[in-house]
Amino acid sequence: MNCRVVVEAAVPVFDVETEDEAIRIAISKTGEMLNPDLNYVEINMGERTSPSGEELPPAFIAADEALVALELEMTVFNVEREEHASRIARKEIGQRLENIPLEVIHVETIEEDDDETDEDEAETSEEPSESTTAGEATNETDSERESADETDEDDEILPEFEDLVE
């Protein structure tokens, strides 16, 4: 089972004047700490709400210092349970973000239908087209004939190569 894990991080930023500046610096700082080892982790602005439900900006500034809420998204492969995926994500991200508190806020199971779709497409492409008639087959362009000739030559070359390998 594969899971998409979203972890919230509280990133401290110093010497800032505006919320936008704090957010840009926090994303840059987090990106530097995660790269190159975890360059597959997506960094987004976090969402904060007041106790009454009012939406707040992701950065809180006091005395030219800010605390910025960021969401770090990561896909964890071949896990047994969602809890296992969340522990792996916290460990991997937490090792690189020292002294930054993390909290898992969402774990989503990813469906694995891609393998079945690829197999279905391969089966349909291998079946010969019954709608092609002899008259249509003679209307091939030169490039189509050349590519067909090349595949015939490739078929002849491959068995000889296999004999050499044996």
Q: Distance between CA atoms of 41 and 6, rounded to whole angstroms?
A: 10
CATH number where 84 lies:
3.30.70
Indicate whether 70 belongs to any domain.
yes
Asked, for residue 20, whether it belongs to a domain, the answer is: yes
pLDDT of residue 123: 44
- The total of structural domains in the chain comes to 1
118: in domain: no
Give domain status of residue 141, yes or no: no
User: What does the alpha-carbon distance between residue 94 and residue 101 come to, in Å, rounded to a whole number?
Assistant: 8
Structural domain for 94, as ranges: 2-110
Residue 63 has φ and ψ, to the nearest 5°, of: 55, 45
User: What pLDDT is stored for residue 24 in this prediction?
Assistant: 95
Is 146 a domain residue? no
The pLDDT tens digits of the residues spanning 19-72 come to 999 999 999 999 999 988 888 899 999 888 889 989 989 999 999 999 999 999
CA–CA distance, 163 with 126 (Å, rounded to integer): 26
| Per-residue confidence band for 112, with pLDDT thresholds at 50, 70 and 90 | confident
* Other Cβ atoms within 10 Å of 70 Cβ, number: 22
What is the structure's pLDDT at 111? 81
Judge whether 133 lies within some domain: no
Q: How far is CA 11 from the centre of its chain?
A: 23
Does residue 122 fall inside a structural domain?
A: no
Higher pLDDT, 17 or 133: 17
Q: Looking at the domain assignment, is residue 54 inside a domain?
A: yes
Residue 102 and residue 90 in contact, taking contact as beta carbons nearer than 8 Å: yes
- Tokens standing for 68? 């910025």
Residue 155 has pLDDT above 90, yes or no: no
